[in-house]
Amino acid sequence: MTTYTNFYINGQWVKPSSADTISVYDSVTEQVMATIPAGTAADVADATRAARAAFESWSGLPREERAKYMSRIGDALAGRMDEIATVISKETGMTKMLSQLVQVGLPINSFKQAAAVAESFEYSETVGTSLVVREPIGVVGCITPWNYPLHQIAAKVAFAMAAGCTVVLKPSEVAPIDAFMLAEIIHEVGLPAGVFNMVTGTGPIVGEAIASSPDVDMVSFTGSTRAGKRVAQVGAETVKKVSLELGGKSANIIGDDLDDATFAKAVMSGVGKAFLNSGQTCSALTRMIVPASKLAEAEQHAAAAASKMKVGDPFAEGTNLGPLASSAQRDRVQGYIQKGIDEGATVLVGGLGAPEGTSNGYYVKPTVFTNVNNSMTIAQEEIFGPVLCLIPYKDIDDAVRIANDTVYGLAGGVWMSTQEKGIEIARRMRTGQVEVNGGAFNVNAPFGGYKQSGVGRELGRHGFEEFMETKSLQL
């Protein structure tokens, strides 16, 4: 077991103001793998003061200098890829191979991409008789989740710092060890004191202190819609900018014009998109909307794909799905499966209870429901586990209506006979990103949602711009 005793504030490892600690659990063994300090409002105040003091000098550095620091951090993450991926697999349950590619590979890209954007960004333009300039917004509070812990940290911290902002990070207390590793790397590369600060703890204490701090100019939050609403409410008291990346209940429309082979491919691919990271993905395509005339075929293909999923140790060869990140999350997902049964949906594959051969670990059976209508709880609320709903539609207009019939709008998918048809349908979906005919996730494209899935965008140039203010100089 690893014991972390200090926060990272103003370029140093400092003692917390409280002796309270938080246990971090291994999702595979259910044993405590680490303890971390539980921060207080006083710790946050120290961190925000340090960030405020460092802002002027950091924002005044040439863009090339800030970019060099971001690139060095990316290189150092690559040097510790295996170690960090191992930790995140224990924290979240993702298979080790995917952790290397996704949980560490994407953060490396974010630091490298943030450096590239910082160097190429147009910081000024002439509009009539005015010079319009873009400047860093100031101190940014970054509050991040447990499902893609380092990826979400990098999506905020890398772009904010590259833009010239200083940051205070509160990582999720469920998966914080990777954040300590990042802080170690930042210290080793010699980032100026106060540019990056980290305080661990709970949302109601540390998160609220960050959101309410008058020293924080912007809060960037990723997590549940419920918690995001609270961050927005608290942040409004000091009229700070709040960027939110929240929940999702994303629809995957399978076209009625596909030949049999393509239809099978689309359905089976869609099962994988729903179950990525054991379903602990805010953009997971958890509602598969299929032609009513082909529901039986969809059931057959979805059942086959889900039944092939090997659930088990994320470090074992051949494992497709590891455990969920915590006992609370496992119990939450089991509750939703029970709710689906109670409301009349049919369990096609999976269901209640732990998968065979899993005596320890927060495991859930990969579950596919059919005979689902869009008014059911399992079709409307984010489950955050390996649970897929098959929902039939009459025609393509009905499919789009069902897809948009949700308070969320984070992601989506559509698979039609041609890309042109797919794009046409994707444009009608009220959601922040749509994959067309299996299009791959682009880590440099803007990521964020419509409706109650959030406000603002992350990643790439669009994510960089979120951390900028606009000033007009009248000449």
pTM of the full structure: 0.95
CB distance 289 to 389 below 8 Å: no
Max CA pair span of the chain? 73
Residue type, 402: I
DSSP notation for 407-441 = S--S-EEEE-SSHHHHHHHHHHS-SS--EETTPPP
Per-residue exposure over 45-83, b if at least 16 CB sit within 10 Å of its own CB, e if not: ebbbbbbbbbbeebbeeebeebbbbbbbbbebbeebbee
- State the catalytic residue, choosing from 91, 165, 173, 245: 245
List beta partners, residue 290: 392
Residue type, 282: C
Walk along the chain (475 residues) and give the pLDDT tens digit of each residue.
899 999 999 999 999 999 999 999 999 999 999 999 999 999 999 999 999 999 999 999 999 999 999 999 999 999 999 999 999 999 999 999 999 999 999 999 999 999 999 999 999 999 999 999 999 999 999 999 999 999 999 999 999 999 999 999 999 999 999 999 999 999 999 999 999 999 999 999 999 999 999 999 999 999 999 999 999 999 999 999 999 999 999 999 999 999 999 999 999 999 999 999 999 999 999 999 999 999 999 999 999 999 999 999 999 999 999 999 999 999 999 999 999 999 999 999 999 999 988 888 999 999 999 999 999 999 999 999 999 999 999 999 999 999 999 999 999 999 999 999 999 999 999 999 999 999 999 999 999 999 999 999 999 999 999 999 999 999 9
Q: Nearest-CA neighbor of 91 among 353, 277, 311?
A: 277
CB distance 245 to 165 below 8 Å: no
The pLDDT assigned to 275 comes to 96
Any alpha helices (H) in 322-466, and if so which ranges?
327-342, 377-380, 396-404, 419-428, 460-465
Would you tell me how many other CB atoms lie within 10 Å of the CB of residue 453? 28
CB distance 234 to 212 below 8 Å: yes
3-state class (DSSP) for residue 49: helix
The pLDDT assigned to 292 comes to 97
Domains of the chain with bracketed CATH: 2-246+452-474 (3.40.605.10), 251-442 (3.40.309.10)
Phi, psi (deg, nearest 5) at residue 435: -90, 130
Instruction: Please say if 245 is a catalytic residue.
Output: yes
- Non-local (6+) Cβ contacts of 4 within 8 A are 34, 35, 36, 37, 176, 177, 180, 200
Q: SS3 helix, strand, coil % of the chain, rounded to 5? A: 45, 20, 35
pLDDT in tens, 239-268: 999 999 999 999 999 999 999 999 999 999
The pLDDT assigned to 220 comes to 98
CB distance 279 to 334 below 8 Å: no
Task: In whole angstroms, give the CA distance from residue 252 to residue 279.
Answer: 15
- State the catalytic residue, choosing from 142, 165, 282, 389: 282
What's 138's DSSP letter? Answer: -
Which runs of E-coded beta strand occur in 148-286?
166-170, 196-198, 218-222, 241-245, 251-254
The pLDDT assigned to 357 comes to 84
